[in-house]
Chain A
Amino acid sequence: MWRGNAWPATLLITGMVGYGLFVSLSMTTWEDYSRLFRDPVFLESIGISLYVAVSSTVLSVLIGAWLAGFFAKQTGWTAQVLAIPLFLPHLGAAYLAILYLSDLPVISPHEVNQFSIILTYLYKEIPFIFFYLLPVYRRLDHRYEELGLMLGLSRLKRFWHGKGVFLLFPVLEAAFIVFAFTLFAYEVPALLGVTYPKLIGVYTFDLYTQGDLSRQPEAFAISVLLTGILFLLLVIFTRTIRPLTERISKGRVE
Chain B
Amino acid sequence: MIKQMTAIAATGLLLAGCASPAAPVQEKVLGSSYTSIEKDANATTVRMYMWGGDEGINAYIDEYVAPKVKKEHNITLKRVPIETADLIQKLRAEKKAGKETGVIDVIWINGDNFRNAKKDGLLYGEITKVLPNMKYVDPQAQGSDSGTPTDHLEAAWGKVQYTFHYDKASVANPPKDLQELKSWVKENPGKFTYPEVTDFTGNAFVRHVMYGLESKETLKDPKADFKKTWAYLNELKPYLWKEGKTYPKTLAQLDQLYAKGSVAFTMGFNERRAEQEVKSGTFPKETRPLVLTDGSIASTHFLSIPFNAPNPNGALVTINTLLSPDAQLKKFDGTYWGDGTSLDLTTVSSTEQEAFEDVPAAASTPKPATFDGKVRAELDPAFFDVIRKDWPERVAR
Are B392 and A211 within 8 A (Cβ)? Answer: no
Size category of the binding interface on chain A: 20 to 34
Interface string of A1-41 (1 = CB under 8 A from B): 00001011001100000000000000000000000000011
Residues of chain A within 8 A of B89, CB atoms compared:
208-209
Residues of chain B within 8 A of A193, CB atoms compared:
246
Are B4 and A41 within 8 A (Cβ)? Answer: no
Q: Closest CB of chain B to A5's CB: distance in Å?
A: 7
Q: Nearest B residue to A208 by beta-carbon distance?
A: B89
The CA-CA distance from A252 to B220 in the complex, in Å, is 76
How many inter-chain contacts with C-beta < 8 Å in the A-B complex?
A: 64
Q: Which of B63-71, B328-336, B381-389 contacts A (4 or more CB under 8 A)?
A: B381-389
Q: If the complex has contacts A7-B1, A8-B4, A8-B8, are A213 and B396 also in contact, measured as CB distance less than 8 A? A: no
Residues of chain B within 8 A of A208, CB atoms compared:
89
**Residue A212 interfacial (CB < 8 Å):** yes
Are A211 and B8 within 8 A (Cβ)? Answer: no
**Residue B393 interfacial (CB < 8 Å):** yes
Pick from B85, B249, B382: contact of A195, CB under 8 Å: B249
Interface residues of B in 97-118 (CB under 8 A from A): 112, 115-116
Q: If the complex has contacts A110-B242, A195-B249, A195-B396, are A209 and B85 also in contact, measured as CB distance less than 8 A? A: yes
Are B4 and A211 within 8 A (Cβ)? Answer: no
**Residue A196 interfacial (CB < 8 Å):** yes
A contacts, CB < 8 Å to B: 5, 7-8, 11-12, 40-41, 44, 110-112, 190, 193-198, 206, 208-215
Size category of the binding interface on chain B: 20 to 34
The CA-CA distance from A190 to B248 in the complex, in Å, is 11
Please name 14 further chain A to chain B contacts, defined as beta carbons within 8 Å, in addition to the given A195-B196, A195-B249, sorted by A numbering: A8-B8, A12-B8, A40-B397, A41-B392, A111-B245, A111-B246, A112-B245, A112-B246, A195-B245, A195-B246, A195-B396, A211-B389, A212-B381, A213-B116
Write 13 A-B pairs (CB below 8 A) sorted by A numbering. A7-B1, A7-B4, A41-B397, A44-B397, A110-B242, A195-B245, A196-B397, A198-B392, A208-B89, A210-B198, A210-B388, A212-B381, A213-B116
Q: If the complex has contacts A41-B397, A112-B245, are A196 and B392 also in contact, measured as CB distance less than 8 A? A: yes
Interface residues of B in 68-124 (CB under 8 A from A): 85-86, 88-89, 92, 112, 115-116
**Interface of B (DSSP majority class):** helix
Are A212 and B1 within 8 A (Cβ)? Answer: no
Q: Closest CB of chain B to A17's CB: distance in Å?
A: 15
Residues of chain A within 8 A of B4, CB atoms compared:
5, 7-8, 11
The CA-CA distance from A209 to B198 in the complex, in Å, is 10
The CA-CA distance from A195 to B198 in the complex, in Å, is 10
Residues of chain A within 8 A of B396, CB atoms compared:
195-196
Query: Lowest 9 A-B CB distances belong to which pairs?
Result: A196-B396, A194-B246, A211-B385, A195-B247, A110-B246, A209-B85, A195-B196, A195-B246, A8-B4
Residues of chain B within 8 A of A195, CB atoms compared:
196, 245-247, 249, 392, 396
The CA-CA distance from A91 to B382 in the complex, in Å, is 34
The CA-CA distance from A163 to B388 in the complex, in Å, is 53
The CA-CA distance from A111 to B245 in the complex, in Å, is 8
The CA-CA distance from A206 to B83 in the complex, in Å, is 12
